[in-house]
Amino acid sequence: MPKRKLGELDGPQRSGEKARKMSMKAIRLGVKFDQGVQIITKGLKTARGFERQKLSRREKTARSDNNRITLIKLGEEIEALKVWNF
């Protein structure tokens, strides 16, 4: 006995119904994608804050040790961190 195709199980559908179902799926997918982007953006902002705190702590230590090379490198990293706008 041959297997039935998925379309046969659902019964006959009009092309308008099928197009509407596909457009609803596309809308739902778009909403889920946007929500995912927002969650990732929020996480990256939080990570940037933690990274900035870590760099500030290292900068403070470098200042107390009078380590100019490390201060220059940390200054460049802090400037690069400021460039990232999420």
Look at residue 54 in the predicted model and tell me its pLDDT.
95
**Which residues, 6 or more positions from 41, have their beta carbon under 8 angstroms from its beta carbon?**
86
Tell me, yes or no, if the pTM score tops 0.85: no
Distance of CA 54 to the CA centre of its chain: 22
Query: Averaged in consecutive runs of 10 residues, what is the pLDDT profile of the chain (86 residues)?
Result: 60 68 89 96 93 94 92 93 78
Distance of CA 16 to the CA centre of its chain: 35
Look at residue 18 in the predicted model and tell me its pLDDT.
77
54 belongs to a structural domain? yes
Domain count, the chain: 1
7 belongs to a structural domain? no
24 belongs to a structural domain? yes
Helix 15-65 × helix 68-83 angle, to 10°: 160
